[in-house]
C-alpha cells in the first residue's frame, strides 16, 4: 500500500505521544518505566492499543506507534545492538547544543535480532489504516552516543546504515507502509550532510518498497532547543542546506517543522517533486491550535507543494506534553486538514 495514498491531505503524527501515567513517568522525554518484566510488555501493548484508538477516533489517517514501546527515539534502538554497552553511559554534547546521557560503542556494532519488528507487527494487527514506523537516521544515531571504538563518525554511520536497512526491510515485511528516518542532526552538521549524510540515509532506505520519509527538525520543545531557536534569527534557513540534496535523493517524503517556526515556506520549493510532511502543530506549547490556525498554515504551504503531495502532520515528538493536550492537538490537526480538504473539492 502507498501510505500517503490514503486520500487527499492524509494526516499523521511525526513522533511520540505521551505515555499513560501508569506505564511511565510523564511530561518528560526520557521517562522511566513504572512496570517491569511481563507487566511491562503487557503495559506497552495496552498503551499502543490506546494510542491507535486515539489516532483513529481523532481522524489521523497514517497511524503510528506514538513511540509507546520505547523510551527514546534513538537510544532504544542503539541499546539493542551488540557492540554497544548501554550500562556504560556517558554524558556527551548532542546536536552541538545540549548534554545527554547516552550509551557507548565499545566494539563492532551489529544487529543480532530485530529491534522493533514485533511491536510493528502488533501495531499492524490493531488497525486497517496505513502504518508508519520511525527509525533514527544514521547521522542522528552517531550524534546520540559515545564512540570508543570506531573513531570516525562517517565509518560508524555507514555501519548503522546497513543495520537500519536490515531492520527497515523486516518492518516492511511486517506490514509497515511508511518508514520514517529521523535526522534532526541534518539541521546542524551541514558538511557531514553533504559529504556522507544523505548517502548513508539512502543506504538505510535501499531496496524498500514501503514509502520512505526523512524527518528533519529543530528538536522537541525542551528548554535547550527553545533557547537555541531563539538564537537563529528571524529566518530559519537551515533546510536550505539539506533540501537540494534530498530533492535528488531516493527518499520519497521530506518531513519538516513549520508551525510557530521561522522557516520560510518557500524553502519547500527546494524539494520539488517530493511529498512533503508539514508540521502544522507546535509541540513546544500546551496551547492547542484552532482548526482554522492549522488550515491557515496548510493553505500557505499549498502555494509551494501540490495538494496530492502534502501530508499534514505535527511538528515532532509530543511525549513531554500533558496527555490531554497532545490528544486535542491531534483533533485540531484533523479538523484543520478537513477544512482545507473541503476547500479543494
Which residue number, 117 or 256, has a Cβ lying nearer to Zn ion?
Answer: 256
* Listed ranges 84-92, 153-161, 212-220, 288-296: which one lies at the site for Zn ion (CB under 5 A): 212-220
Pinpoint the alpha helices (H) of the chain. Answer: 37-57, 75-79, 117-126, 138-142, 153-173, 190-192, 198-204, 223-230, 239-247, 291-301, 323-344
Which residue number, 105 or 217, has a Cβ lying nearer to Zn ion?
Answer: 217
Exposure string for 86-118, b = 16+ CB within 10 A, e = fewer:
eeeeeeeebbeeeebebbbbeeebebeebbbbe
User: Does the protein bind Zn ion through residue 12 (CB under 5 A)?
Assistant: no
Which residue number, 179 or 217, has a Cβ lying nearer to Zn ion?
Answer: 217
Which residue number, 104 or 314, has a Cβ lying nearer to Zn ion?
Answer: 314
* Listed ranges 81-89, 209-217, 236-244, 264-272: which one lies at the site for Zn ion (CB under 5 A): 209-217
Distance (Å, whole) CA 331 – CA 289:
10
User: Does the protein bind Zn ion through residue 74 (CB under 5 A)?
Assistant: no
Which residue number, 70 or 341, has a Cβ lying nearer to Zn ion?
Answer: 70
Which residue number, 109 or 333, has a Cβ lying nearer to Zn ion?
Answer: 333
- Provide the minimum distance between the beta carbon of 184 and Zn ion in the complex, in angstroms, as a whole number: 5
Size of the site for Zn ion (CB under 5 A): 2
N-terminal to C-terminal alpha carbon distance within the chain: 24
Q: Which residue has the cell 538505510?
A: 204
- Provide the minimum distance between the beta carbon of 133 and Zn ion in the complex, in angstroms, as a whole number: 15
- 294, 260 Cβ separation under 8 angstroms: no
- Provide the minimum distance between the beta carbon of 335 and Zn ion in the complex, in angstroms, as a whole number: 23
Q: Give the neighbor-by-neighbor strand order of the sheet with 82-94.
A: 82-94, 98-110, 146-147
Radius of gyration for the chain, computed over Cα atoms and rounded to the nearest angstrom:
19
- Provide the minimum distance between the beta carbon of 126 and Zn ion in the complex, in angstroms, as a whole number: 24
- Provide the minimum distance between the beta carbon of 163 and Zn ion in the complex, in angstroms, as a whole number: 21
User: Does the protein bind Zn ion through residue 214 (CB under 5 A)?
Assistant: no
Distance (Å, whole) CA 233 – CA 23:
39
- Provide the minimum distance between the beta carbon of 255 and Zn ion in the complex, in angstroms, as a whole number: 8
**Helix/strand/coil for 62:** strand
- 205, 168 Cβ separation under 8 angstroms: yes
Which residue number, 116 or 181, has a Cβ lying nearer to Zn ion?
Answer: 181
Tell me which residue of 204, 62, 83 sits closest to 133, measured CA to CA: 62
User: Does the protein bind Zn ion through residue 168 (CB under 5 A)?
Assistant: no
By CB under 5 A, what part of segment 217-276 binds Zn ion? 217
- Provide the minimum distance between the beta carbon of 187 and Zn ion in the complex, in angstroms, as a whole number: 9
- Provide the minimum distance between the beta carbon of 94 and Zn ion in the complex, in angstroms, as a whole number: 13
By CB under 5 A, what part of segment 20-49 binds Zn ion? none
By CB under 5 A, what part of segment 287-316 binds Zn ion? 316
Distance (Å, whole) CA 321 – CA 305:
30
Which residue number, 205 or 214, has a Cβ lying nearer to Zn ion?
Answer: 214
Distance (Å, whole) CA 98 – CA 229:
13
- Residues engaged in binding Zn ion (CB under 5 A): 217, 316
Amino acid at each position: 500500500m502507498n501510505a500517503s495514498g490514503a486520500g487527499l491531505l492524509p494526516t499523521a503524527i511525526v513522533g511520540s505521544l505521551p505515555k499513560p501515567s501508569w506505564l511511565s513517568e510523564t511530561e518528560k522525554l526520557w521517562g522511566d518505566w513504572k512496570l517491569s518484566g511481563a507487566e511491562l510488555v503487557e503495559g506497552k501493548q495496552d498503551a499502543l492499543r490506546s494510542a491507535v484508538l486515539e489516532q483513529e477516533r481523532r481522524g489521523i489517517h497514517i497511524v503510528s506507534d506514538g513511540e509507546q514501546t520505547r523510551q527514546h527515539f534513538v537510544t532504544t534502538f542503539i541499546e539493542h545492538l551488540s557492540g554497544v554497552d548501554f550500562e556504560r553511559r556517558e554524558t556527551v554534547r548532542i546536536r552541538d547544543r545540549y548534554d545527554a546521557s547516552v550509551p557507548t560503542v565499545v566494539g563492532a556494532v551489529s544487529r543480532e535480532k530485530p529491534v522493533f519488528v514485533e511491536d510493528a507487527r502488533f501495531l499492524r494487527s490493531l488497525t486497517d489504516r496505513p502504518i508508519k514506523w520511525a527509525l533514527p537516521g544514521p547521522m542522528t544515531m552517531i550524534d546520540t552516543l559515545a564512540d570508543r571504538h570506531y573513531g570516525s563518525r562517517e565509518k560508524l554511520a555507514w555501519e548503522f546504515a546497513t543495520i537500519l536497512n536490515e531492520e527497515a526491510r523486516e518492518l516492511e515485511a511486517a506490514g509497515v507502509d511508511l518508514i520514517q528516518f529521523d535526522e534532526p542532526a541534518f539541521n546542524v552538521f551541514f558538511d557531514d550532510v553533504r559529504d556522507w549524510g544523505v548517502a548513508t540515509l539512502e543506504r538505510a532506505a535501499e531496496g524498500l518498497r514501503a514509502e520512505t520519509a526523512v524527518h528533519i527538525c529543530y528538536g522537541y520543545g525542551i528548554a535547550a532547543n527553545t533557547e537555541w531557536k531563539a538564537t537563529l534569527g528571524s529566518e530559519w534557513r537551515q533546510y536550505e542546506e539539506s533540501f537540494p540534496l534530498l530533492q535528488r535523493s531516493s527518499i520519497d517524503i521530506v518531513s519538516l517543522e513549520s508551525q510557530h517556526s521561522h522557516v520560510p515556506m518557500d524553502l519547500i520549493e527546494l524539494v520539488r517533486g517530493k511529498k512533503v510532511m508539514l508540521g502544522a502543530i507546535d509541540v513546544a506549547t500546551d496551547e492547542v491550535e484552532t482548526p482554522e490556525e492549522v488550515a491557515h498554515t496548510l493553505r500557505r504551504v499549498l502555494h509551494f507543494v501540490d495538494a496530492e503531495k502534502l501530508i499534514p502532520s505535527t511538528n515532532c515528538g509530543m511525549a513531554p506534553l500533558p496527555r490531554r493536550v497532545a490528544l486535542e492537538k491531534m483533533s485540531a490537526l484533523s479538523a484543520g486538514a478537513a477544512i482545507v480538504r473541503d476547500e479543494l473539492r
